[in-house]
Amino acid sequence: MRTLEEQIEVTAPVGTAWSQLHRVAEYPEFVGGVVHASARGRRHAELEVEFGGERHQVDAELTDHGRGRVMSWETVDGPPLRGTFALRPLDAAHTQVQVRLEYDPEELKESLGGPRGFAQSRAVEEAVRTDLQLFKELCEE
């Protein structure tokens, strides 16, 4: 398994960022590859993702903890992925958003396609950075 950690500072209160994380239907606006997303109850999300010109269904389980500051997720089917969003208020108007993603590049390649080896890891890193920037912009609107 590979672990990727990235962070970004958002000019928005922690509550705003927390609310945005829970708007599952808006994931296509800031998560690359997600073309449709819907919540199934409070703990599940159904995602339609597109990679390599093909669409795949992915179900994820969401878990909140840390008093509105940490949200973890894990795929239930599809490629084995786990992630955590941790929010830390810097002051009343600024929040640090940290994402941690655990994945196996080879299993990701087998499930969704894309490049092999190092190129796959590089593509995931760039996607996460882009997603964080889009999340920042959405929170700051």
pLDDT given for residue 74 in this prediction: 93
pLDDT given for residue 21 in this prediction: 92
What is the CATH classification number for the domain harbouring 107?
Answer: 3.30.530.20
Residue matched to tokens 């269904």 = 57
- Residues of the chain where predicted confidence (pLDDT) is lower than 70: 107-121
> In the chain, how many domains are there?
1
pLDDT given for residue 54 in this prediction: 80
Closest CA to 132 of 30, 45, 15, 16: 30
pLDDT given for residue 1 in this prediction: 81
pLDDT given for residue 119 in this prediction: 54
Instruction: Convert the pLDDT of each residue in 59-81 to its tens digit.
Output: 999 988 877 799 999 999 877 88
Question: Could you tell me which residues are beta bridge partners of residue 103?
Answer: 2, 81
pLDDT given for residue 110 in this prediction: 63
pLDDT given for residue 116 in this prediction: 53
Q: Considering the entire predicted model, what is its pTM?
A: 0.86
Q: 3-class SS at 4?
A: strand
pLDDT given for residue 124 in this prediction: 76
Q: In the chain, what are the helix, strand and coil shares in percent, each to the nearest 5?
A: 35, 45, 25
**Structural domain boundaries enclosing 98:** 1-138
